[in-house]
Structure 1
Amino acid sequence: MKEMIKLLVAQINPTVGAIDYNAKLILDIIKAHSKQHDIILFPELALSGYPPEDLLLRDELHTKISYELKKIQRAAPSCHVILGHPEKKAANIYNTASLFFQGKRYVSYHKQKLPNNGIFDEKRYFTEGEARPGIFTLNDMRFGICICEDLWQEGPFAELLQADIQVLLALNASPFDQEKYAKRVKLLNKLSKNKLMIVYANLIGGQDELLFDGLSMSFDKTGKLKTRAKTLTEDLHSITITKNTIKGELNPLLAKTELLYKALVVAVKDYVHKTKHSAVLVGLSGGIDSALTLAIAVDALGCENVTAVRMPSRYTDSISLIDADLLIHTLKVKSYTLPIESMFNASLATLHEIFRQHSPNIAEENLQARIRALILLGISNKTNQLILTTSNKSELAMGYGTIYGDMAGAFNVLKDIYKTEVYQLANYRNQQSFVIPERILTRAPSAELAFNQKDQDTLPPYDRLDLILKELIENRATLKDLIKQGFQEQEIINIQKTIQRNEFKRNQAPVGPKVSKVAFGRDWRFPICNGWL
């Protein structure tokens, strides 16, 4: 009887709905590692990818999953393979973890607690499993299986404790945000102090607006973190379990800004590749947001797959062109310079009879942004390159962007990044290698849609604005809460009203990666038409 159990956590990056691809990835890992390991543990819904959403309503998906599960079952003759997958039984669909061994399925556990808040809507698709723990024994050690939310709510964990398990194997698809890792560690530390070893397996990769950061880990019976897989990277994380110990590699954590930058790189890479594209366009103004977006795109896809498009107008400062040119040269990307003056004049001439009846206002400014969008969309349509938009979270909150203009594109990598964070990320990138000209970092930000225009002409200073926005958006702070923190009442009210007034814009904006506690998108579901404020 072996006293030691070798377990492999397969921290993988599946593609939602790509059942053939995901199954091959799983089978290749089983084939390569089953002889060296007693257990291979895959994350939640590894076969379908997470979240499969309305694909779960298609019978063809379940037929394909059933077919691939049979192949995986046959591929596990000498190793215990634990795999997350959807399972349809009659009219019900379950979020399932199955244990395969010696060509048979020994355990089929159905997730009991289905999250239905924030970004999650599992109750739309899945049926809650019965209160029946998934248990198996190997080398006189008793293992229990649970799935993600089962750890966070009362019931399933207590059932496993009553079953006298020694090791808990948790399958997860836990999305990233900047506070999530600490929350996981706090929970797992608490649970493992029940004299229980815990192995936590998580997905990695980008899926639409979600990111999965990996960081699969294990805890010993005293609540001590013993092993940790890599961050935002596929990792085959091997650990050794005995009756009293758990051992393996403890990979280092990334510093806060490094982690955030890498998350954005992974988000761009996976969004582009999983939508079966290879290249992107960035409208490059010479400002901080487009500069950072271009740098992220190059780090994600390589300079050969990124094109910068400069579209100057009469309002473009010469130093913006110089700085954009320096950035293009440093990052070695292909570029076009396409002035918009003739198109702007033609548009003004076409609209003259209507515009002359009104004083100049924001309409003339927005025309420029929409002409630039027209150019980018034309290039995108002709060359099959996706457009990366460049609006940050502060701008999106305040509606400081042009719908069907600079907000038009496929993916917005800065969508959940406040303006102050944009500067932090740009400085971090320059610490790795200097790519963003210093003047871009120090100049006052401007949309350059009018002469001598500055963001702060219409917005509060970003350092103060971002503090208020974070409290309102992520912490659901009230007016009284913010006044107590020292902010001015009228400024808070103005910001609240501006956020609400621009809901229609955000509902038509491209997706972007969620990296904060509350992001615009799945987390943020306010009615467009409402009379709240």
Structure 2
Amino acid sequence: MRITIAQLNPIVGDLTGNLTRAIAVYREAATTGSHLVVLPELYLVGYPPKDLLERTWMIDQVEEALQALARETSAFPDTALLIGAPVRTGSAHGKSLYNGAVLLQRGAVAGVQAKTLLPTYDVFDEARYFEPAPSIGLFACGGERLGIAVCEDAWNEPDFWPAGRMYSFDPVAELARQGATLLINLSASPFCQGKAQLRRKLMQNHARKHGLPLVYVNQIGGNDELIFDGGSMVINGGGALVHQSAFFQEEVVTIDLNAAVPLPETDHDDGDDDMASVHDALVLGIRDYMRKSGFSRAVVGLSGGLDSAVVLALAVAALGSEQVLGISMPSIYSSTGSVEDSRELAQNLNVPFQVLPIKAIQQQYLDALATSFAGLTPDATEENLQARIRGNLLMAFSNKFGHLLLSTGNKSEMAVGYCTLYGDMSGGLSVLADVLKTDVYRLAAYINREQPLIPMAIIAKAPSAELRPDQKDQDTLPPYPVLDAILQHYVEEGLSRDAIISKGFAEETVAWVIRTVDRNEYKRKQAAPGLKVTAKAFGIGRRMPLAARHSHDFTVMYESTSPVER
């Protein structure tokens, strides 16, 4: 059997564009002798479509698109099409839709396999929209009995999570039990560090365990905060990888299952689950967020620090140097080096560069507030004024010239609120919101791997917001290696205060970090959407209350009454 893997990049809601691309890919594959063309989960509407699924007109358009695709298959009777789409259940009870894998062949819908396991953790909320499959079965195609699973259906493998399975049912095992000769998984699996290798091992385990070849097709592209990395694959019945698609780019390839041979172990590309993959994910996330939102140019405020330097380099990689503008806005506390380092960075990246001093504007603000603030000691209020002046100037460029303002704060700062609302948090997209400060240094090293695009003076200088004389980040924060390690345990792993302390961290430091993370939830709620690259990002996958009172200390308060006292 010849199967075409169509690892495509849909735009959420763009039925016309997604359909047109699917038809073009199908026709090309059919004319070259493919027996089956497979597209990702919910490809027609893009993933995740969110509340667009609740719009009746959108589902009507999906049905029209599926009819158009079915007509296409009538011209190529030997080539079937398997595509992800929302499908009406036809029931008056429960949710009105299935998350379906639709098999189209010879001018008609040959079958629909609905998704069985509907994830509701982290960024997923599928039970909000879909009913689980009422049953699963096999589909005949090209002389094979297809066992079709949709994304999460393949993630309940008991060999991987023997003590922590989320569901009691294993759809892949059931498909194998029914006599499938080929397993296919349509997926929209978002990127995070380390996931590509886990994904490959999981799929290999399914194939090896059941002695069946497996075809896995994943979406690529950036959709809001989520980045989909592709990495589609074909695995033979012995569990050996026989094809690995590219990461972070579209790829359409036809594989002859009978002729496929195992790849050498050295050819296994897991997306390089270190800074290379994070770099490529962020570049794709910037490019797609802008392209799919209608922007072609970006503006970045350059402080002379590392975060803004890395964001500028990523933006250039995503858009090209001519589409990015760098602006330095020195205040009375900015060092000469910060401006000159930013200028050198812009020159290295061939980016247009402007300097807009804010000293005079800053003084006007202080003069306007002088009477009201008379006798009061300067504090963060005056510091934040500088950040907000800069935010206003950058937004003026965004409004006047149509640039998207890229916010430059990192995850460490966002976690503890070391950032200014309506100041450095201004922007349409927060590029480093899920990258800890220690990883920003690693990203910089990766960016400089071939030539020093980011000046060493920027990398070497102590981090500083430069909002008061001789200010350094670690006047306020724990050292970044300590802070980031605690944040990793608390935010990503969900450990308690005592569990983190037991790992050797100072009790006072842990308590401060946890307290500061919790009380800055309101800031993150108002931040620009941030690109997700770790297992737990601030954003749609972390939903914490704002007006709340919770503590790691718990005391039961009640009035004790004994029988004697009665």
What range is the shorter-chain TM-score in?
A: over 0.9
After superposition, what is the alpha-carbon deviation per residue over 1:92-142, rounded to whole angstroms, capped at 9, x for unaligned?
111111111111111111111111111000111111111222422422x22
Contact 2:153–2:172 (8 Å) recurs in 1: yes
| 1:52 aligned residue | 49
Q: 2:185 aligns with which of 165, 170, 173?
A: 170
1:96 aligned partner: 100
- Which is further off, 47-56 or 128-137? 128-137
Tell whether 2:148 aligns with 1:148. no
Distance 1:173 1:146, change over 3 A: same
The answer to whether residue 211 in structure 2 is matched with residue 207 in structure 1 is: no
On the 8 A contact 2:241/2:263 being kept in 1, the answer is no
Match of 2:2 among 1, 6, 9: 6
Q: State the one-letter code of the partner of 2:27.
A: K
Select which of 391, 416, 419 maps to 1:398. 416
Work out whether residues 330 and 358 of structure 2, in 8 Å CA contact, stay in contact via their aligned partners in 1.
yes
C-alpha distance in structure 1 between counterparts of 2:44 and 2:271, whole Å: 28
1:189-235 per-position Cα deviation (integer Å, ceiling 9, x unaligned) = 22112111111100001000001000001221122222110011101
Match in the other structure for 2:438: 420
1:252 has 2:252 as partner? no
Contact 2:4 2:37 in 1 (8 A): yes
> Is 1:367 aligned to 2:385, yes or no?
yes
Q: Is structure 2 residue 45 aligned with structure 1 residue 29?
A: no
Aligned residue runs from structure 1 range 82-161, under 5 A: 82-90=82-90, 92-139=96-143, 141-153=144-156, 154-161=169-176
Query: TM-score normalised to the size of structure 1?
Result: 0.96
Quote the residue 2:207 is aligned against: 192
- 2:560 is matched with none
The reply on whether 1:63 has 2:60 as its aligned counterpart is yes
Identity among equivalent positions (%) equals 39
Q: How many residues align?
A: 527
Superposition map of 1:164-313 within 5 A: 164-193=179-208, 194-242=210-258, 252-255=269-272, 256-313=274-331
Aligned runs of 1:428-443 on 2, under 5 Å? Answer: 428-443=446-461
* Cα shift at 1:447: 0.2
- Deviation (angstroms), 1:245: 6.0
State the match for 2:563 in structure 1: none
In 2, Cα distance between the equivalents of 1:42 and 1:231?
16
Q: Which runs of 5+ in 1 are unaligned?
A: none
Instruction: Indicate the SS of the match to 1:117.
Output: coil
Q: In the TM superposition, what is the alpha-carbon distance from 1:308 to its structure 2 partner?
A: 0.7
CA distance, structure 2, for counterparts of residue 147 and residue 224 of structure 1: 21
- Aligned letter for 1:94? Y
Across the aligned residues of Structure 1 and Structure 2, the Cα RMSD in angstroms comes to: 1.5
- List gaps (5 residues or longer) in structure 2: 157-168, 552-566
**Residue aligned with 1:432, SS:** coil
Residue aligned with 1:363, SS: helix
Give me the whole-angstrom Cα distance separating, in 1, the residues matched to 2:544 and 2:268: 40
Contact in 2 for aligned 1:286/1:440 (Cα 8 Å): yes
Q: Which amino acid aligns with 1:258?
A: A
The equivalences for 1:36-47 within 5 A come to 36=32, 37-47=34-44
What CA distance in whole angstroms lies between the structure 2 residues aligned with 1:458 and 1:221?
57
The amino acid that maps onto 2:135 is: A
- Write out per-residue CA displacement over residues 277-333 of structure 1, whole angstroms, 9 at most, x where no aligned residue: 101110011100000000000010001110111111110000111100101111111
2:536 paired residue number: 518
Shift, 1:506, TM fit: 0.4
Q: How far apart, CA to CA, are the structure 2 residues paired with 1:86 and 1:133?
A: 18
Pick which of 32-41 and 262-271 moved more: 32-41
Letter in 1 for 2:180: I
Deviation at 1:247, TM superposition (A): 6.3
Whether contact under 8 Å (2:343, 2:353) holds in the other structure is: no
Question: How far, CA to CA, are the matches of 1:226 and 1:247 in structure 2?
Answer: 4
Deviation by residue 1:47-101 (Cα, 9 ceiling, x = unmatched): 1100000111111111211111111111122311100011224451111111111
Alignment partners' CA distance in 1, 2:82 and 2:387: 52
Distance (whole Å) between structure 1 residues aligned to residue 130 and residue 370 of structure 2: 57
Distance apart, 1:246 and its partner CA: 6.0
**Partner AA of 2:30 in structure 1:** S
In the alignment, the residues of structure 2 paired with residue 158 and residue 426 of structure 1 have an alpha-carbon distance, to the nearest angstrom, of: 45
Residue 343 of structure 1, CA deviation: 1.2
Q: Counterpart in 1 of 2:166?
A: none
Conservation of the 8 A alpha-carbon contact between 2:80 and 2:141:
no
1:509 maps to 2:516: no
Moved more, 128-137 or 509-518: 128-137
